[in-house]
Structure 1
Amino acid sequence: MAILQLTPEQVRTWTLEQKDRWWLENVWRGDMPQLTWRSALTGMFLGGLLSLTNLYVGAKTGWTLGVGITSVILAFALFKVLARTGLTGEFTILENNCMQSIATAAGYMTAPLISSLAAYMMVTGGIIPMPVTIAWMVAVSVLGVLFAFPLKRRFINDEQHPFPEGRAAGIVMDALHSSGAQEGLFKARVLVSAAGLSALAKLMQSQPIMERLRLAWLTIPEYLDEWAYRLWGTIQIRGVDLRELTVRPDTDFVMMAAGGLMGIRVGVSLLVGAIVNYLVLVPWAIQAGIIQGVPGPDGLLHYGFRTITAWALWGGVAMMTTASLLAFFSKPQLLVQAFRGIFRSRAATSDVLAHIELPMWVFVVGIPVVGFAVVWLGHAFFGVKWWLGALAIPLVFIFTLIAVHSTALTSITPTGAMGKLTQLTFGLLDPGNIKSNLMTAGITAEVAGNASNLLMDIKPGYMLGAKPRQQAIGHVLGILAGAIVSVPIFYAVFLRGGPEQLVQEQYPMPAATIWKAVAEALTQGLDQLPVSARWAALVGAVLGIVLEGVRIATHGRFWLSPVGLGLATVIPFNTCLAMFLGSFVFWCAERLLKKPDTPAHRLLVQNQEPICGGVIAGGALMGIAVILIENFVLPSR
């Protein structure tokens, strides 16, 4: 059935209490089974399995994949088969939602293994004992859970941010579990068709698989500009090849679908930020000698995304920082209301969701206790000074605000950029201590990442009428499953030859390499940071305040989002372009197809979410399958 939601006008004008009452009366599903034994065990199993794929993807690209939609479809298919054989009853929509929270937590918590922890072992030349790694990752991830829920009331209940990947998961679950009604069947067919086409396209993008199938002539190119280079030769701006700047169209349909969910305003902001960054600022910085290229085998200087973003991220991160802080403190009543509930009984408070939301005392008690455990682990095993570890905990709150704001709009959590900003902070506070630099930044970046991803999981629960406190418990179960499965596999596969063998040609560990490089640069002194980067950070900070102030003054009607603009400095141009194209296609469909009774309007306007959710689901599923086939099946033949 169609998911009930507030109109944009209601979101802007209603109070938080009005929105909560509306949700309780119209969306909440009461005591429908949610966190059950089968949803918990299924989520832990699928999450543990999918966390291994994130290890391999992260080792190759430095990124981790969201596994929520993947787990939703797998669990739905599994229990449909079991129900038809009479082995079990139907899997409820809220069980599926809780299951995806568990699986997603397991998938995302692997990030430190391919970033901060790997960089630490590369720097020190020693292997961290496996029990220490497990304890560290669990403590940091649980701290992320505790920081997330105080922010839920603002980002989800009040401002109703999209959290595109979470929204897609909610739409997928609604379409799958509502197939009994005619409209639900149509949405399910649309979703399945979109997923099938997306999966086929993702399969056809794999040249090794298509060659093995003897269908190489049907391979879909990853990029769409090779014909232009064959026709005209090198295409440059200020003497730099556009491919070096990541300025090229690609066939990333999953990112296009994400753009369709995030909307035209964020899509335009990403494109504007990408144009300014990659076509204006970066070419200027290269020509001025600020960004240094790396000599290649052909004798030419090469740049690429990672070299560029090491300079460009400073302005973008500063913009996101000031904009996120201004947006948060522009509504101080939400923070006051949240903490006021600590000192009053549940009966005395006017919070209509007090029996559903996670109690505030959990955060008041949990954050100091788990925070102390993190600080103790950092001091005992990584040599982090007590006062630096203690300072990292309040900094987590600031960086969580930034990360959540980004995730809320685009589904992209800038964990790497947040880590670099924290590395700069601790480079000032404790110069020369590279181990402290890595691990304190690891605390803030990874906690912020886990908090953001938890809110991404809570979004579909809010859409479908679930109890958030049960999702919080599920998130902790997923963290345990991910740690138990992924850490031993990481040690067995990547640490067989010792830390010096972590970086290999097949698995370059790009995220860990960047963490290591930034830590080495900052601990040698801030003179390693170009003066231009410092000016970029200052300008970005001012722009963030100005643009966010305009957005607040116009009640969200201002087109440009400072978070979207800042994000364009830490993700490639081709990804920004893909997301803009997706948002633009559906914006055009909404403007041009105005007759509700036409098939085109029904498909592209009324079912925009199932189309985008299906494309993301099919592409994610097949993307994981392609990675597994290319890495484990084809090379063994």
Structure 2
Amino acid sequence: MSHGPSQDATMSNDSRTASEQTEREGPSPTVPAGKSIAELTIKAVLIGLALNVVLLTANMYLGMRSGMTISASIPAAVISMGVFYALRNAGIGGTILENNIVQTMTSAGEALAAGVIFTIAGVTFLDQPIDIAGTASVAVLGGLLGVLFMIPMRRYLIVEKHEELPYPEGTACADVLEAGSQGKDGVKLISLGFLASFVYMWLASGMAAFRTTLQTAFSAGQTRGFAIGGDFTPALIGVGYIIGPKIAGYVFGGGLIAWMMLIPLLITGGFVPESAADATLMAQANAVWDEYIRYVGAGAMIVGGFYAILSMSGTIRDALGTAIADVRGSTAASEQRRRTQRDLPMKLVVVGAAVIALALVAVPQVQVGLLGGAIAVVAAFLFVAVSAYLVGVVGSSSNPVSGMAVATILIAALALKSTGVTDPVVVLVTASVVAIAAAVAGDTSQDLKTGYLLGATPRKQQIAQIIGIGISALFAGWVLSFFHQAYGIGSETIPAPQAGMMALISEGVLTGTAQWGMILIGAVFAIVLILMSVPVLPFAVGIYLPITLATPIFLGGLLRAGIDKYVAWNGDPDGSAAERTTYRGRIIAAGLITGEAIMGIVIGALYILEIGAATGAPFALGFGAETQTILGVVALVALLGIFTRGVLGGSRTADA
């Protein structure tokens, strides 16, 4: 492989030798490059499409509820292995590369969901309805940009930077797929988490048997408005466990700065919105967060996004070099590469990006204008590079898509305002294309890492991603509309914090009402963190999340730290017990998230079908507040106990 401009149309023998040498120096794939087995098959595509829609729905619910999504690759791989295990008993079966295609297609839905809920959902905060056709159009255009722009970066980021960029989910997913014999056990683990979460949320949301949210506001001396609390649901605890104590700690740290420092200072200083002047202290804290603190988070996110671009300048330059070299090369030269090195042609990237740019201007449901389309395509390329690099270090679940969207909104709003644009929806749509592209690129890079380790054909994975993007885009608008009809986007159940912030900034910049002072405070705060070598974006997420979301995420991170300490304390000289525990914990945590998301769909359907009570729990038991609180504590302890027992159950066995 060559990524410099010296590659010509004939692709010299030296180039082929260098290409082959690059692969030889990498890890030995599970399926050798010279061997071809079933990969992009009809049954793999059908299974992938079915799981794609399920995890698209689950992650849209989770993202609007918690402000974060998780990578669907590992859960999809485990479920896929379970399905293929059942098919094998029926005499059909499937190969490891077919399993890889399934998880590739499935995770495309999760990635696209993140971009949609962080941006497009913001139109509801601007009193606009969900446009199902428009959502599908924007989603498919942004998703395709994410896949296409990742193609010229694959060999540089995935192959040449193999040792530098571990791509944690991609590597873990390859390990899971290689341990195919564990498929049956993996399904049992995810089922444990799913059932525990499903029952927990039915008792809490379906029957109001106990309360999941505990929060309070208090004063200390002359300072008023300290606020703390948590909405202790399975999904949020599962998110915390997956991202780990370090990132969860950064998120919680941002929450403490917002709710235990900034909000008390503002309330004590008299900066309480008039609408909440006579409300309870907790209501005042929420009003101050909504009016001021989210702008602080936005300022921090903007600086963090631009800092990420500057840090990535070398990677972007190298990726462009690779693209230019491949565009100059011939199709025949591409076909001479080994199976494990063949991408979709670079000319497709160039033509595809041009067609998408035209579509952004011409498609009636989009129409961001010539300037908006140019901003979207250029920003998408830059942030695809940022996203693909960052997830190689921190993983897809910690991919700061919202920070990239905030930076795009600021640029687009200022640029479009200068041309007379006054509609914030146009700004949101422009940012949506970029956010979806960045999210999809992060996921695609993880999947390509998995394929690189397994010996998959990149071209077939890229085709699978495109198919997955297509089906996800078709369903995204319907799912978004369903949740809005069932709960109301921006409600207590699905607050959709990022979407609200995106709408707030878009409208504020265009109307001149943006809290520039608060944005500046956030920006300065981010600069201080950068100078201290502290990650900016997790802190910023914590600032603009309600404290009730940051706290349970931190609890999940603490749970993981505690379990890891326990395993180490019991003796684990070769690290095998810790590895098994990590595997089991991630799978059960994914089950917790999926169970709550599916229950959210069930409860929403009951509301829409007018089954049970129209407000509150459909089948409330009528317990008093004190009883609900006590039972809530008991239920939380039971949930943590079930989770811990499930994780540790196989930590000292030979099979996870």
> For the superposition of Structure 1 and Structure 2, which TM-score range results when normalised by the shorter chain?
0.7 to 0.9
Question: Are 2:197 and 1:202 equivalent residues in the alignment?
Answer: yes
Which letter does structure 2 place at the counterpart of 1:636?
A: I
The offset of 1:366, in angstroms, is 2.3
Which residue of structure 1 lines up, in the alignment, with residue 349 of structure 2? 363
In the alignment, structure 1 residue 519 sits paired with structure 2 residue 519: no
1:387 paired with 2:371, answer: yes
Change (3 A) 1:402 1:535: farther
1:88-487 correspondence to structure 2 within 5 Å: 89-110=92-113, 114=117, 116-120=119-123, 123=126, 125=128, 128=131, 130-157=132-159, 158=161, 160-175=164-179, 177-179=180-182, 189=185, 191=186, 195=190, 198-199=193-194, 201-203=196-198, 205-206=200-201, 208=203, 222=212, 234=218, 238-243=223-228, 252-260=236-244, 266=247, 276=257, 279-281=260-262, 283-284=264-265, 287-288=268-269, 295=276, 298-300=279-281, 301-304=283-286, 310-330=294-314, 333=318, 335-337=320-322, 339-344=324-329, 355-377=341-363, 380-408=364-392, 409-410=394-395, 411-431=397-417, 433-434=422-423, 435-487=425-477
C-alpha displacement of 1:338: 5.1
Q: 2:409 and 2:257 mapped to 1: Cα distance? A: 26
Structure-2 separation of matches of 1:632 and 1:344? 54
Distance 2:510 2:479 in 1: 32
Question: Could you tell me the percent identity over the aligned residues?
Answer: 21
For residues 24 and 507 of structure 1, the distance between their equivalents in structure 2, rounded to whole angstroms, comes to: 43
Distance 1:561 1:515 in 2: 22
- For residues 250 and 283 of structure 1, what CA distance do their matches in structure 2 show? 30
Q: Which amino acid aligns with 2:139?
A: M
Query: Could you report, residue by residue, the CA deviation over 1:342-397 in whole angstroms, capped at 9, with x for unpaired residues?
Result: 334575999878733444333233222223222333xx445533123212211222
Deviation at 1:289, TM superposition (A): 5.7
Cα distance in 1, alignment partners of residues 389 and 275 from structure 2: 34
Shift of 1:473: 0.8
- Give the Cα separation in 1 of the matches to 2:572 and 2:560: 20
> Which structure 2 residue ranges, 5 or more long, are not aligned?
1-17, 613-656
Deviation at 1:71, TM superposition (A): 3.3
Residue 470 of structure 1, CA deviation: 1.5
1:76–1:518 distance in 2 versus 1, CA, 3 Å: same
Which range moves more in the overlay, 486-495 or 618-627?
Answer: 486-495
Task: Summarize the Cα distance change of 1:45–1:293 in structure 2 as closer, same or farther, 3 Å threshold.
Answer: farther
> How far apart, CA to CA, are the structure 2 residues paired with 1:387 and 1:351?
39
Question: Is the deviation greater in 101-110 or in 474-483?
Answer: 101-110
Give 2:631's aligned residue: none
Q: 1:475 offset after TM fit, Å?
A: 1.2
* Aligned-residue offset at 1:36: 0.8
The 1:140/1:325 distance shift into structure 2, 3 A limit, reads closer
Deviation at 1:39, TM superposition (A): 0.6
Do 2:49 and 2:471's aligned partners in 1 also have CA atoms closer than 8 Å? yes
Cα separation, 2, equivalents of 1:568 and 1:209: 25
Q: Does 1:45 align with 2:50?
A: yes
Deviations 1:451-507 (A, max 9, x none): 22322333433343322221211111112222334445656785799xxx8777876
Q: Does 1:581 find its partner at 2:558?
A: yes
Q: How far apart are residue 165 of structure 1 and its match?
A: 4.5
Structure 2: how far apart are the matches of 1:240 and 1:193?
46
Q: Equivalent residue for 2:587?
A: 614
Provide the C-alpha distance between the structure 1 equivalents of 2:127 and 2:605, rounded to a whole number of angstroms: 31
Q: Partner amino acid for 2:276? A: P
User: What is the TM-score normalised by the length of structure 1?
Assistant: 0.74
- In the alignment, what sits opposite 2:604? 631
SS in 1 for 2:38: coil
C-alpha separation between the residues in 1 aligned to 2:528 and 2:242?
29
In the alignment, the residues of structure 2 paired with residue 104 and residue 620 of structure 1 have an alpha-carbon distance, to the nearest angstrom, of: 15
In structure 2, distance between residues paired with 1:348 and 1:418: 33
Asked if the contact 1:313/1:570 (under 8 Å) is kept, the reply is yes
> Deviation of residue 201 (structure 1)?
4.4
Give the gaps of 5 or more residues in structure 1: 1-14, 180-184, 549-559
Q: Provide the C-alpha distance between the structure 1 equivalents of 2:191 and 2:145, rounded to a whole number of angstroms.
A: 38
Structural RMSD (CA):
4.4
Equivalent-residue separation in structure 1 for 2:555 and 2:155 (angstroms): 31
Tell whether the 8 Å contact from 2:152 to 2:322 is kept in structure 1 after alignment: no
Question: By how many angstroms is 1:402 displaced?
Answer: 4.1
Residue 243 and residue 97 in structure 1: after superposition, are their counterparts in 2 closer, same or farther (change >3 A)? Answer: same
